[in-house]
Amino acid sequence: MPRDRRSKDKDAETFIEDGGSAPGEAEEAEEIKTFSTRFPKKLVDRIDKSIDDKIVNESRNQWLIKAAVEKLEREE
């Protein structure tokens, strides 16, 4: 990895101290639960078409999370 030219005056110790956090060390990180589910192919095809029709890319997982949030908000 190329070294950042802006850090020429920093020694190695200072450079390390200025670094970010390691993956998984984010403060107040939300726990993620993983599970499998089954959907009828016709429904998945409709979801995928909806995703493909968008200008901004969105994964199927993101689409499903948004759909679940919208449903829960309507029910509250």
Instruction: For 1-48, write each residue's pLDDT tens digit.
Output: 555 555 555 677 776 777 766 655 555 678 889 999 999 999 999 999
Within a domain: residue 20? Answer: no
Mean per-residue pLDDT, 60-71: 95
Instruction: Give me the number of domains the chain comprises.
Output: 1
- Work out the pLDDT band at 75, boundaries 50, 70, 90: very high
What whole-number distance in Å separates Cα of residue 24 and Cα of residue 18?
A: 18
Within a domain: residue 44? Answer: yes
Within a domain: residue 1? Answer: no
Within a domain: residue 76? Answer: yes
- Structural domain span for residue 51: 31-76
What is the reported pTM?
A: 0.57
51 in Cβ contact with 63 (< 8 Å): yes
Within a domain: residue 13? Answer: no
